[in-house]
Amino acid sequence: GAGVSQSPSNKVTEKGKDVELRCDPISGHTALYWYRQSLGQGLEFLIYFQGNSAPDKSGLPSDRFSAERTGGSVSTLTIQRTQQEDSAVYLCASSSKNGYEQYFGPGTRLTVT
Amino acid sequence: AQTVTQSQPEMSVQEAETVTLSCTYDTSESDYYLFWYKQPPSRQMILVIRQEAYKQQNATENRFSVNFQKAAKSFSLKISDSQLGDAAMYFCAYRSPTGTASKLTFGTGTRLQVTL
């Protein structure tokens, strides 16, 4: 079946602009996660959604970052007033309700110039 | 908070040989899950192997196996009969049991080179 998809694959933006990154999880998966991978670093948790529960936003680095998940499926990560330090690969993952395995998408490489 | 440490930034192995990647973690929880993920240049994170902490038996998936030492909080990955396609970044990850904080906590990764 279809895996996790993310768009765009690559995004170049100017400092100060807003960007939106999209994640389409595996059909039927209730949990959705966003991670950030900076150059040469491991993955850093940003936010996760589980069903209709309030999202865990504990990993968001600043109030310029926000995310929503509409209809329990597609999620959008928004970064406002982008800074150069926001340049990274943003990875999305999903898992089933009682599953502990997370399935990752191919990521979006964000470059802020 | 849990932490995961991978002390080998880079490793190299010859084709057909065996290599072991190290991972240690710190937690106060008694039940948890551990994972090894592979990330090739395509960026796609691929699950290689998982281990449930309550299981004493080490997990094995074909050429991949782990050495899980719960008391020592160590979780190493052994790759046997290495192949060129094994070249990638390998990340060790920790997860609390489902129903609590479900995020994955990752180490900083080990880049594995496979030479002829």
| pLDDT at site B58 | 95
- The mean per-residue pLDDT over the stretch B81-94 comes to 97
With tokens 């094994």, the residue in question is: B86
Which tops the pLDDT comparison, B38 or A28? B38
Among the partner-chain residues A45, A91, A98, the one whose CB lies closest to the CB of B103 is A45
B39 → chain A, closest CA residue: A106
CB A61 within 8 A of CB A47: no
CA atoms lying within 13 Å on the CB side of residue A37 = 25
DSSP string covering chain B: --EEE---SEEEEETT--EEE--EEE-S-SS-EEEEEEE-TT---EEEEEEETT--SPPEETTEEEEEETTTTEEEEEE-S--GGG-EEEEEEEEPPBTB---EEE---EEEEEE-
Residue B61 CB partners (closer than 8 Å, separation 6+) = B48, B49
Among the partner-chain residues B91, B98, B103, the one whose CB lies closest to the CB of A42 is B91
Report the distance separating Cα B12 and Cα B17, nearest Å: 10
Q: Contact B95/A100, CB-based, under 8 Å?
A: yes
Q: Contact A107/B43, CB-based, under 8 Å?
A: yes
Q: Contact A42/B44, CB-based, under 8 Å?
A: no
Q: Contact A48/B102, CB-based, under 8 Å?
A: yes
Size of interface A-B (CB pairs under 8 A): 61
Rg (chain A; Cα; Å): 13
| pLDDT at site B99 | 61
Q: Contact B43/A102, CB-based, under 8 Å?
A: no
Q: Whole-number mean pLDDT of chain B?
A: 93
Q: Contact A99/B98, CB-based, under 8 Å?
A: yes
Q: Which of A26-30, B9-13, B34-38 has the lowest mean pLDDT?
A: A26-30
- The mean per-residue pLDDT over the stretch A98-113 comes to 91
CA distance A107 to chain B (A): 7
Q: Which of A63-72, B4-13, B91-100 has the lowest mean pLDDT?
A: B91-100
Q: Whole-number mean pLDDT of chain A?
A: 92
For residue A71, give the amino acid letter.
G
CA distances from A34 to A18, A38, A105, B15, B87 (A): 18, 13, 10, 35, 25
| pLDDT at site A101 | 87
| pLDDT at site A51 | 84
Q: Which of A37-41, B26-30, B67-71 has the lowest mean pLDDT?
A: A37-41
B96 → chain A, closest CA residue: A100
Report the distance separating Cα B82 and Cα B13, nearest Å: 7
Tokens of A99: 């599953």
| pLDDT at site A46 | 96
CA distance B4 to chain A (A): 10
Q: How confident is the model at residue A41 (pLDDT cuts 50, 70, 90)?
A: confident
Q: Contact A100/B44, CB-based, under 8 Å?
A: no
Rg (chain B; Cα; Å): 14
| pLDDT at site B98 | 64
pLDDT at A1 over 60: no
Share of chain B above pLDDT 90, in %: 84
Burial of residue A36, with CB atoms counted within 10 A of its CB: 0-12 exposed, 13-18 middle, 19 or more buried: buried
